[in-house]
Amino acid sequence: MDAVRLAIIGGILLLFGVLAVAFGVLPLEDALAIGDRVWPILVFVIAVTIVAELAATAGVFDVASAFLARLSRGRTWILWTLTVVLAVLATAFLSLDTTAVLLTPVVVATARAHRLDPLPFAFATVWLANTASLVLPVSNLTNLLALAPLGHPSPAEFVALLGAPALVAIAVTVALLVIVHRRGLRGRFAAAPAPIITDDLQLRVAAAVVVVLLPLLVSGVPPWIPASIAAVVLLGFFAWRSPGVLRLSLVPGSLVVFASGLFLAVGALEAWGSASVVAALAGTGEGLVDLLQLAGTGMLGANAINNLPAYLALESVASSSPERIAALLIGVNAGPLITPWASLATLLWHARLTALGVAMPWKRFVLLGLVAAPLTVGLSVVSLWLVRGA
C-alpha cells in the first residue's frame, strides 16, 4: 500500500464519516469530540516523522549503525544484537514507523557493506518495530489513543502497566529471530569504510536535537509539544543549511488523511451499534482467559484488516479496566506479524526492502508470523496477568 493508495482509502473513509455526520448517524458533537481527542496525536505523528526524516538525511542513523559495527569488533552476532538494541530504542522513542522506514535501509546497507546476509537484520527491524511498540506511549499510535481510556497516565505509569508484557514481547521476538536466523549470525566480518557525511555540522545539530528530544518524550509533557519544537528547530536549521532537502513529502499527509478518516468512520460505525458485535467477540472480565480472548481478538482483527482500526473497534469494550486496555494493546501491537497489511509499518518496511533489491517472499513472512504472533501475544498476556491480575 503506497502513499497514494493510503490517501485514497483515507479520503473514502473521511467522506463516509462526513456523510454519517450530515445524515445524523454520527452526532456533530461526537465528531467534534473525536477531533478534539486526536489532533494532538496527529500533530505528534507529523512532528516526529519530520524529525526522524531530517535526522536520517543528516546521517544520524548511518553513523549510529557504523558505530555499532565498530563496537562489534567483527563478530556478526554482536553486530546483530546491537542492531536489535538500536531497533528497540528507535521504536520505543521515535515510533515503529521510524524503525520500519528509516532504520531498515540503514541496517541493510550496513550488512551489505560488511558482506553479511541482510535478512536477519531486516527481519529484526520489522518484528521489533511491532513488538517493541508496547514500551512507551509514543511508540505506537495505538498507545497514544489508549491514553484517554487509561486516564492519561504518565509515562512511568504506562510502563508500570505494560512494562512486563513489553519485555516479554521483545524477549520472545529476539529468541525466535535467533532460532530462525542462527546460521546467518555465525562467523566474523571485515570492517567496512565509515559512512560519508557531507555536512558535519548538520549531523551534529540533528543528533543533538534527537538526543534532547528523547527524554522530553517521556517527561510527562504532552509529546506533541517537544516533538513540534524539535521539528521547527530542524526545519529552520535545514532551511538555512540545506533548503533543497525540505519538501512536502516530509509531512506524512497520506497517513494523516487515513487516520483522520478512520477515526470518523469507526465513530460512525459505533454510533450504528457495532460495539455490541465486537463485545460478543472480545468478551468481558479480567481473568487470564478473558484477557487472552481480548488480545486474541485484537490480534486477529489486526491481521484481518489493520491494527489501527482493530484497536478503535475494540476500545469501547476494553475500556472497563487498565488490564483490558493493556491486553488489547498487546494484541494489536505485538500481533500484526502475519499478514502484510496488519501494520502500516510492515507495508512500509517491505516497500523499502523492495527498493533496496532485497527479496522477501510474503509466504515466508506469513509462515513465520503464524508461529511468532500467537506465541508473543499469548506469553505477553500471561505476564500481564501475573503482574496485574493474578
Helix (H) or strand (E) holding 111: helix 104-113
Q: Cell digits for 22?
A: 450530515
pLDDT at 276 exceeding the cut of 70: no
Q: Cell digits for 353?
A: 526492502
CA atoms in the 13 A half-sphere facing the CB of 65: 30
Q: How confident is the model at residue 175 (pLDDT cuts 50, 70, 90)?
A: very high
Q: What is this structure's pTM? A: 0.84
Give dist(CA 26, CA 46) in Å, integer.
27
Residue 255 CA, chain-centre distance (Å), reads 13
Residues 372-376 have a mean pLDDT of 97
Give 188's strand partners.
75
pLDDT at 290 exceeding the cut of 80: yes
Q: What does the mean pLDDT of the chain come to? A: 88
Q: Cell digits for 98?
A: 521510524
Residues 263-275 have a mean pLDDT of 73
What's the distance, Cα to Cα, between the start and end of the chain in Å? 42
Closest to 150 (Cα-Cα) out of 135, 162, 168, 163: 162
Largest CA distance in the chain: 66
Residues 21-43 have a mean pLDDT of 84
Choose from 4-8, 254-258, 333-337 the range with maximum mean pLDDT.
333-337
Helices first, then strands: H and E counts in the chain: 18, 0
The per-residue pLDDT for range 200-242, each reduced to its tens digit, is 999 999 999 999 998 998 888 888 999 999 999 999 999 999 8
CA atoms in the 13 A half-sphere facing the CB of 285: 9
Q: How confident is the model at residue 179 (pLDDT cuts 50, 70, 90)?
A: very high
- Only one residue has cell 473514502, namely 12
Give dist(CA 366, CA 363) in Å, integer.
5
